[in-house]
Amino acid sequence: MNSFLILEWVIKGFVWVLVLIGGFAYLTLYERKALARIQSRIGPNRAGPWGILQPIADALKLIFKEELTPAKADKLLFLLAPVITVVPAVVITAVVPWGPNLTILGHTLTLYIADINVGVLYIMSVASIAVYGIVLSGWSSNNKYATLGGMRSSAQMISYEISLGLSFVSAILLAGSMRMIDIVQAQKTIWFGVLQPVGMGIFLIATLAEVNRAPFDMPEAEQELTAGYHTEYSGMKFALLFMAEYVKMISICAIAATLFLGGYQGPFVDRYPLLGLVYIFIKIVVLLFGMIWVRATLPRIRYDRLMEFGWKVLLPLSLAVIFITATGIILAQQVAPALLWIIPVASLLVAGFAVAMIDRSLRRKDYARR
Amino acid sequence: MRVVEPIVELARGLWTTLHMMVEKPVTVQYPEVKKPVKPRFRGRHALKRYDNGLEKCIGCSLCAAACPADAIFVESSENTDEKRYSPGERYASTYEINMLRCIFCGFCEDACPTEAIVLEDNYELTFTDRRQAIYPKAMLIDPVPEGGQPTPQKTEPGVFTRSVPEMKDPQD
């Protein structure tokens, strides 16, 4: 390992952090614009042409705002909690490959920051750390609403993390590896999202709960908890919590694109490697639009139903999906490769059964209507 | 077993929001585009004049009495034929409306016997301190109409003896 290689890593990491923070700034604008269009509005259009300077204006406002610390708050943890929330959100994407290797001036440049052979486990573990920051910010605020928000957040994240982890497993089984690069390579012919649509669905639903987005934004439910864990935060500390949420959105969309939508794979990537960056960017933008779209459409789900959905529907469904995936792979290897198509068919059937069961349980409690 | 219906319902909800994206936004770009107000809109007050330039306000203070927010202050003085501001005996030498107190109810308009005070279209009232919120007579009164003369006017004796003019029923 020479010093040039270390320098390259430092530069790549720095550039990537800058990209994520810039992406966060413009994701807020993207979300506000998309939500506005869905609600027949225009959205921010005053700061610069089409409002493109709006994130800068917001950042300046938040930096110059007064920072309040509650009198009986745990000062150290109150200060540290936003940092603890931001760091996992930023480092989680270190293992995601952004494109195939580039060759510049005879030097091979890899478009990922770290190549860990258990990359998926790395993502799982870092994603779990993120909840510490939220619980600590809720607890250190010395505010009952904030504490409740933090508690809800931890309960919700632990519940949905299991389904999230199990939905990773189907991608791992299909690729036969935990390295993110291998997973992307394995999707050269067919995306795992096509082979295992239910696994992708579980992943997307669980990630919505994981990043506390609507309709699973119970930890920050305005009506019940004022603003949840960031009630007492203001100024730049609030901006950090906000940033963590949006950076997590980008990260989770990048991971979903890598695991299920072929990552940087697409037509002509072999000939022009830089196209890989374009493809993964498009995939992330489309997935982010999906998150915004769901937020604009669905109302917040009740807390007991959220828990029931996580434990009684998603968890058994993801176990069934793993079983079907494993069976399909064995059948394809032992009997005939065409039997791989058992996986999507059988898992869609199981998902349909799950939908019917949810519908039944929701209807059975409704005595008044009949 | 209902499998398709719940999914269709979910998809229909998502389609509704997606469909709204292609709809024309209802936003009015306010400072650049101003929507005309309704005919009976109650905006900033104006004190009216007759065609010959005399002020309609006769300083009777009925508007101040009618005002539920006590926003109007009127002080009246005597008209003379040498220095005539309005028909009849008296005119409003001071007329002030406190725009921080005014609730734009339009009772002053109703109370006025000469239709001197009218709530007009202007809703863009701005001031930066409490003193500026008190609008004096100079700000409220309309400019002298074409062919009229500014007040005070020098008039013939015995012409403007009637404070309240002959009036028709209100139209609007």
Render pLDDT for A168-194 as a digit per residue (tens, 0 to 9).
888 888 888 888 888 888 888 888 888
What value does the mean pLDDT take over residues A77-88?
A: 87
Best of A30, A32, A37 to disrupt the B interface (most B CBs within 10 Å) is A37
Q: Which domain holds residue B103?
A: 37-162
Domain stops at, among A45, A64, A83: A64
Between chains, do B7 and A355 touch, taking CB under 8 Å as contact?
Answer: yes
Chain A residues closer than 8 Å to B7 by CB:
355
Tell me how far CA of residue A286 lies from CA of A6, A282, A291, B13, in angstroms.
34, 6, 9, 19
What's the pLDDT at A220? 67
What value does the mean pLDDT take over residues A57-81?
A: 84
Tell me how far CA of residue B83 lies from CA of A209, A278, A361, B116, in angstroms.
80, 82, 88, 20
Q: Which two tokens stand for residue A43?
A: 């959205």
Among chain A, residues having any CB pair with chain B shorter than 8 Å are 34, 36-42, 293-294, 296-298, 352-353, 355-356, 358-360
What value does the mean pLDDT take over residues A254-283?
A: 82
Q: Which domain holds residue A75?
A: 67-364
A133 pLDDT higher than 70: yes
A136 pLDDT higher than 80: yes
CA distance B30 to chain A (A): 12
Between chains, do B21 and A38 touch, taking CB under 8 Å as contact?
Answer: yes
What's the pLDDT at B74? 92
Cβ–Cβ < 8 Å for A310, A354: no
Chain A residues closer than 8 Å to B19 by CB:
none
Q: Does a structural domain hold residue A370?
A: no
What's the pLDDT at B71? 92
> Tokens 């413009």 identify what position?
A26
Q: Please tell me the distance from the alpha carbon of residue B64 to that of residue A75, in angstroms, as a whole number.
A: 57
Residue A223 shares a structural domain with residue A266? yes
For chain B, the domain total comes to 1
Between chains, do A355 and B25 touch, taking CB under 8 Å as contact?
Answer: no
> Tokens 């006017």 identify what position?
B153
Q: Which of A36, A293, A353 sits opposite B14 (nearest CB)?
A: A293
Tell me what percent of the residues of chain A surpass a pLDDT of 70: 95
Tens of pLDDT, residue by residue over A193-250, are 888 888 888 998 888 888 888 788 766 666 667 777 778 888 888 888 888 888 888 8
Between chains, do B17 and A40 touch, taking CB under 8 Å as contact?
Answer: no
Residue A234 shares a structural domain with residue A333? yes
CA distance A101 to chain B (A): 38
The bridge status of strand B117-119 relative to strand B134-135 is unpaired
β-strand partners of A358 = none
What value does the mean pLDDT take over residues A11-25?
A: 86
Name the pLDDT band for A365 (thresholds 50, 70, 90): low
Cβ–Cβ < 8 Å for A134, A219: yes
Chain A residues closer than 8 Å to B20 by CB:
37-40
Tens of pLDDT, residue by residue over B13-65, are 889 888 888 888 888 888 888 888 898 899 999 999 988 888 899 989 999 99
Q: How far is CA A334 from the centre of its chain?
A: 36
A366 pLDDT higher than 60: no
For chain A, the domain total comes to 2
What's the pLDDT at A102? 73
Give B143's DSSP letter.
P
CA distance B1 to chain A (A): 6
Between chains, do B14 and A41 touch, taking CB under 8 Å as contact?
Answer: no
Tens of pLDDT, residue by residue over B66-113, are 999 999 999 999 988 888 888 888 999 999 999 999 999 989 998 988
CATH of the domain at B126: 3.30.70.3270
Name the pLDDT band for A153 (thresholds 50, 70, 90): confident
Q: Does a structural domain hold residue B14?
A: no
Between chains, do B26 and A41 touch, taking CB under 8 Å as contact?
Answer: yes
Residue of higher predicted confidence among B94 and A128: B94
Residue A18 shares a structural domain with residue A44? yes
What's the pLDDT at A222? 67
Tens of pLDDT, residue by residue over A278-301, are 888 888 899 999 988 988 888 888
Q: Which string of b and e fits A289-311 if b means at least 16 CB within 10 Å?
A: eebbbbbbbbebbeeeebbbbbe
A309 pLDDT higher than 90: no
Name the pLDDT band for A331 (thresholds 50, 70, 90): confident
Best of A32, A39, A313 to disrupt the B interface (most B CBs within 10 Å) is A39
Q: In whole numbers, what is the pLDDT of chain A averaged over residues? A: 83
What's the pLDDT at B9? 85
CA distance A270 to chain B (A): 35
Q: Please tell me the distance from the alpha carbon of residue A354 to that of residue A351, in angstroms, as a whole number.
A: 5
State the sign of the Cα–Cα–Cα–Cα dihedral A83, A86, A91, A92: positive
CA distance B110 to chain A (A): 39
Q: Which two tokens stand for residue A316?
A: 């058994």
Residues contacting residue B65 through CB under 8 Å, at least 6 positions apart: B111
Q: Please tell me the distance from the alpha carbon of residue A202 to that of residue A197, in angstroms, as a whole number.
A: 9
Domain stops at, among A64, A84, A109: A64
Q: Does a structural domain hold residue A92?
A: yes
Residue A95 shares a structural domain with residue A33? no
What value does the mean pLDDT take over residues A59-88?
A: 85
Between chains, do B17 and A42 touch, taking CB under 8 Å as contact?
Answer: no
Q: Does a structural domain hold residue A275?
A: yes
Domain stops at, among A42, A64, A86: A64
Between chains, do B26 and A293 touch, taking CB under 8 Å as contact?
Answer: no
CA distance A275 to chain B (A): 29
Torsion angle, alpha carbons of A164, A165, A171, A177, to 10: 160
Q: Does a structural domain hold residue B10?
A: no
Chain B residues closer than 8 Å to A359 by CB:
2-3, 5-6
> Tokens 């007991």 identify what position?
A304
Between chains, do B3 and A352 touch, taking CB under 8 Å as contact?
Answer: yes
Number of H helices, E strands in chain A: 14, 2
Residue A10 shares a structural domain with residue A57? yes
Q: Which of A40, A296, A352 sits opposite B23 (nearest CB)?
A: A40
